[in-house]
A and B are shown apart, each in its own frame.
Chain A
Amino acid sequence: MDEVLSLSSTWKSEDIPNEAFVFRHVHVNQRTGRIPNEAAFKLREGERGLSVNWDKYIDVKGCYILLGLTFSKTNTFINYTAFKIFKLKVENIRSIVGIEDVIHDPVFYGDPPPIGKPNNRSHSQILCSDEEEVRMNLADYCLNNFDISCCNFKVTSLDEEINILKQRLKP
């Protein structure tokens, strides 16, 4: 999900204003302490930024549905209940040392998109270096603003809806 896979899309990349918010999904491991911790903001080799979704085109529910319809690397649908979603203010993210920018990067795979790879107009990226300082600052931003940034959402309420959508995807 942190891959940049923008294909020729009908969606133009737009400027994200400072007042906007982006959603970041964080994998929740039962055994880890703080959520999110710095590991949630680690880049893999070759990645330029962290995947987020711009709130202009999506809400928390939409983020979970998108996760639920996406394939993991093992070609099975992602367990969307294993994630928490954090809402980050773009202005604050841009002010963190080591963050280059927050850019809109819509992802379009086709019409209809292949199973497990939904199109995502809200897809954006936090361009940053993979340095320890940056990851600490991102984790601390979420923790210091936990009440605002952590999106409380009853994920299991989406089970039926996501199952119906998955059924529709079957050829």
Chain B
Amino acid sequence: METVLENTLDQKPYQKKAYRACCDKIWEVTPAKYMIAKSYIRKMKVPNDQYNNWLYLAPVNWLKYDDKFSFMLKIYRRSYFIPNQLKSIALAINESKWICNLKEDWDYDGASIIDKEIYLSAIDFLINYSIDIFKKTGIVINTPEINPCKDGSIDLSWRTTTARMLVNIRKTVDELLAYYYGDLSNNKSPIKGNVHLDSVYEHLATWMKSLA
């Protein structure tokens, strides 16, 4: 794991140049660096629309809740604070960025390119639900596979010894939705439906605890 934050802070932490240099790296954030990181986030240019505001500010709120060690994951200029316990999820996300570089017809069967908006929405979904479950219950869900689909959507796929789940993030008409199906061993307690990506839905988060 590359420790980027410390070096950056020793130089000029709040400058955009340094910020860009650290793009797409995972930062190790210690409690001692917490206040600096928090003010750093505040100095970031926050887009006007509410969704992005929430996205940028949520990690700060989370840090207030828990002072434990955490990571800052940067994906295409979006910043996420992720607790250390969810490190493997952060790494899987970091490794999935190749998906956005796929070209038209990447499967030789007419596959569409993966829109960055859809990719980032899938990452938001994964991070928001895994952090929410961890915050409320201390449960760390398994790391899913993150796969591109030929229609330009993204699959998040979990398999554990007792449960399985597939979440497909796709655009329908004008809105992005997460379509999901999950069940426990022998098709028990199935869950199926779709949710908007604007917040964490309690019923889905409750079921996803089975993915630990």
Q: Which of A58-66, A100-108, A129-137 contacts B (4 or more CB under 8 A)?
A: A129-137
Give the nearest-CB partner of A74 in chain B.
Answer: B105
| B residues 152-189 in Cβ contact with A at 8 Å | 153, 155, 157, 159, 164, 166-168, 179-181
Please state if A38 and B155 are interface contacts (CB–CB under 8 Å): yes
Which residues from A are CB-within-8-Å of B192?
132-133
Give the nearest-CB partner of B151 in chain A.
Answer: A44
Nearest Cβ distance between residue A55 and chain B, in whole angstroms? 21
Q: Which of A10-18, A27-35, A117-125 contacts B (4 or more CB under 8 A)?
A: A27-35
Give the nearest-CB partner of B190 in chain A.
Answer: A133
User: In this assembly, does A2 line the interface, its C-beta being within 8 Å of a C-beta of chain B?
Assistant: yes
Please state if B108 and A39 are interface contacts (CB–CB under 8 Å): no
User: In this assembly, does A92 line the interface, its C-beta being within 8 Å of a C-beta of chain B?
Assistant: no
In whole angstroms, how far apart are the Cα atoms of A34 and B143 in the complex?
13
> Chain B, 113-149, contact with A by CB distance < 8 Å: what is the 0/1 string?
0000000000000000000000000000000010111
Please state if B107 and A27 are interface contacts (CB–CB under 8 Å): yes
In whole angstroms, how far apart are the Cα atoms of A140 and B105 in the complex?
26
Task: Please tell me which one of the listed residues B104, B107, B147, B153 contacts residue A37 in the complex, with CB atoms under 8 A apart.
Answer: B147
Nearest Cβ distance between residue A87 and chain B, in whole angstroms? 19
Please state if A43 and B147 are interface contacts (CB–CB under 8 Å): no
Task: Please tell me which one of the listed residues B98, B151, B179 contacts residue A31 in the complex, with CB atoms under 8 A apart.
Answer: B98
Task: Give the interface size bracket for A toward B.
Answer: 20 to 34
Task: Please tell me which one of the listed residues A27, A34, A133, A136 contacts residue B109 in the complex, with CB atoms under 8 A apart.
Answer: A27
Which residues from A are CB-within-8-Å of B47?
none
Q: B interface vs A, CB < 8 Å?
A: 95, 98, 104-105, 107-110, 145, 147-151, 153, 155, 157, 159, 164, 166-168, 179-181, 190, 192
Which residues from B are CB-within-8-Å of A133?
166, 181, 190, 192
Q: A39-B149, A82-B108, A133-B190 are in contact. List 10 more A-B contacts (CB 8 A).
A: A27-B107, A29-B107, A39-B147, A39-B150, A42-B150, A44-B150, A131-B179, A132-B168, A132-B181, A136-B164
Interface of A is mostly: loop
Sorted nearest first, the 9 A-B pairs with minimum C-beta distance are A132-B181, A27-B107, A73-B110, A72-B108, A42-B149, A133-B181, A132-B166, A39-B147, A78-B108
Give the nearest-CB partner of A33 in chain B.
Answer: B145
Asked if A37 meets B109 with Cβ closer than 8 Å, knowing A31-B98, A132-B179, A136-B166, the reply is no
Which residues from B are CB-within-8-Å of A2?
109
Which residues from A are CB-within-8-Å of B168?
132
Nearest Cβ distance between residue B150 and chain A, in whole angstroms? 6
Which residues from A are CB-within-8-Å of B98?
31
Nearest Cβ distance between residue B174 and chain A, in whole angstroms? 15
Please state if B108 and A27 are interface contacts (CB–CB under 8 Å): yes
Nearest Cβ distance between residue B153 and chain A, in whole angstroms? 7
In whole angstroms, how far apart are the Cα atoms of A55 and B180 in the complex?
34
Nearest Cβ distance between residue A135 and chain B, in whole angstroms? 7
Please state if B110 and A37 are interface contacts (CB–CB under 8 Å): no
Most buried by A among B145, B153, B157: B157
Please state if A32 and B104 are interface contacts (CB–CB under 8 Å): no
Please state if B108 and A37 are interface contacts (CB–CB under 8 Å): no
Asked if A72 meets B105 with Cβ closer than 8 Å, knowing A38-B166, A39-B155, the reply is yes
| A residues 41-96 in Cβ contact with B at 8 Å | 42-45, 72-74, 78-79, 82
Nearest Cβ distance between residue A160 and chain B, in whole angstroms? 21
In whole angstroms, how far apart are the Cα atoms of A82 and B105 in the complex?
13
Give the nearest-CB partner of A79 in chain B.
Answer: B108
